[in-house]
Amino acid sequence: MNWKKVKKAAVLVTLLVIWMVLIGFVEKRSQDKTFQKVEIDLEAVSGVYFVEEKEIATLISQSFPELKAGLLASQIPLAQVEKRLMGHPFIKKAEASVGQKGILKVEIEQHEPIARIARPMAADGYITTDGLIIPTSSSYTSRVLILEGDYAEQLMNQGSLEGMPELMPLIEYITGDEFWKAQITELEIRKRNDIRLHQQVGKQVIEFGDGFDIESKFDRIEVLYQEILPRKGWNAYDRISVKFKNQIVCE
């Protein structure tokens, strides 16, 4: 008999038994742990919180009154908690988990507004970076590009940008450029093919036309700023249009 092999096998069996005991112990501890409290990890959007931790905690406690000290961790409805939180208009993502100490940890990611639809006779709404239209927040007002006009209100009523998918690339183009973000304060959308740009500097409203051919149109507006208006004066024209291909109309 090879005693070395027997000894080695005995050691391996012993280690396996110890490992199985530890696994059983950990599982037993996991099953025995109970709910203690809720811990909320809320990620800010550009340093801003559109939904507050207190609001989330209240939502959880009201929706799940069974979450009290002593409740077994295995009975905490994690999937239902996530689903309930995802129903909040400003919550983009919610993940719930239970730690070793029985703490229900909820990680929240907010939607990020990129533009605001302003309506004189009804509540405003935000357009998010994902192209969703959501209500405004009572906690904070974000300084973003303003959209007004009959067609903008129509999009708000529809609850999405499906009726004008070309609008999102236009918004992203403006907000993604430091100069245009500062200079263009508002998009007036009268019809799908009738967008007008309101400027920070200059009294003229620029007729942009539809939401296509974006880069070419802004190249022409840049020529206007760099070559025409410095010579003629910023308020020399009442009407400026770049809606026609390869043209700048100044009247």
pLDDT by residue (tens digit) across 25-44?
A: 444 454 458 888 899 998 87
Strongest mean pLDDT among 64-68, 93-97, 135-139, 224-228: 93-97
- Which pLDDT does position 24 carry in this prediction? 46
Separation CA 34–CA 76 (nearest Å): 9
| Region label for 250, one of left (φ > 0), alpha (ψ between -120 and 50) or beta (otherwise) | beta
**Interval 13-20 mean pLDDT:** 57
- Which pLDDT does position 12 carry in this prediction? 64
| Alpha-carbon distances, residue 155 vs 116, 160, 197, 225, 247 (angstroms) | 12, 6, 18, 31, 29
Greater confidence (45 vs 133) lies with: 133
Predicted confidence band of residue 13 (pLDDT cuts 50, 70, 90): low
DSSP 46: T
Domains belonging to the chain, first-starting first, are: 37-110 (3.10.20.310), 113-250 (3.40.50)
Separation CA 95–CA 85 (nearest Å): 9
**How many angstroms from the chain centroid is the CA of residue 227?**
39
HEC string for 172-222: HHHHCCHHHHHHEEEEEEEECCEEEEEECCCCCCEEEECCCCHHHHHHHHH
Burial zone of 110 (CB within 10 Å; 0-12 exposed, 13-18 middle, 19+ buried): buried
Q: Provide the residue type at 16 as one letter.
A: L
pLDDT at 5 over 60: no
Longest dimension (CA), the chain: 106
Predicted confidence band of residue 20 (pLDDT cuts 50, 70, 90): low
Q: Which long-range contacts (CB under 8 A, 24 or more apart) does 195-198 make?
A: 195/170, 196/149, 197/221
pLDDT at 143 over 90: no
- In the chain, % helix, strand, coil (3-state, to 5) comes to 40, 25, 35
pLDDT at 11 over 60: no
Greater confidence (20 vs 111) lies with: 111
Separation CA 163–CA 186 (nearest Å): 20
**Interval 59-85 mean pLDDT:** 90
Separation CA 13–CA 204 (nearest Å): 85
- Which pLDDT does position 43 carry in this prediction? 81
- Which pLDDT does position 14 carry in this prediction? 63
Contact criterion met (CB below 8 Å) for 118 and 108: no
- Which pLDDT does position 25 carry in this prediction? 43
Predicted confidence band of residue 120 (pLDDT cuts 50, 70, 90): confident
pLDDT at 129 over 80: yes
